[in-house]
Structure 1
């Protein structure tokens, strides 16, 4: 694992802590910084990172606070409460 991947891995817990503290703008800054690092270094964002952040408004998705999570037949539906974007992920 290289330096960019390590930095991206460190930013996810920081974004989570910021959401817990109620600082949505700071969490958004951490998510945007991680995406920028991935872009510059042609690194892929981890699946956990992509699923826990909104791709439209860059907020950390925490169920009940910034996201609504519902399960449907063979998929999970996550709706961002900040911008209203919906993301669907398969599961078995």
Structure 2
């Protein structure tokens, strides 16, 4: 595993902890930093990281805290508190 991938994984953990403690500004900083590292090193973000971050406000999404998750026919709908919506296929 590369140094960039390890750093992105650590920032993912820190963003999750910050959101659990309701420190949303700190969570945003961790998400932005991880995205910047991925861009500079031309690596993609892990699927879990992409699924649990808001593309509009860069906050880490935690169901029940700052995100609403609903199951619809064939997909998962995740809505952030900022109003952004993401849809994923679901088996």
Q: TM-score range by the shorter chain?
A: over 0.9
Partner of 2:25: 25
Work out the CA distance in 2 between the residues paired with 1:59 and 1:15.
8
SS class of match (2:22):
coil
Structure 1, unaligned runs of 5 or more: none
Structure 2 counterparts to residues 45-84 of structure 1, below 5 A? 45-81=45-81, 83-84=82-83
SS class of match (2:78):
strand
Moved over 2 A (4+): none
Cα shift at 1:20: 1.1
Structure 2, unaligned runs of 5 or more: none
Partner of 1:88: 87
Cα shift at 1:56: 1.1
SS class of match (1:5):
helix
Deviation track 1:57-84 (CA, whole Å, cap 9, x = no partner) reads: 1000000111000000110000001x10
Taking only aligned residues, the RMSD between alpha carbons, in angstroms, comes to: 0.6
SS class of match (1:79):
strand
TM-score, normalised to structure 1, is: 0.96
Length, aligned pairs only? 91
TM-score, normalised to structure 2, is: 0.97
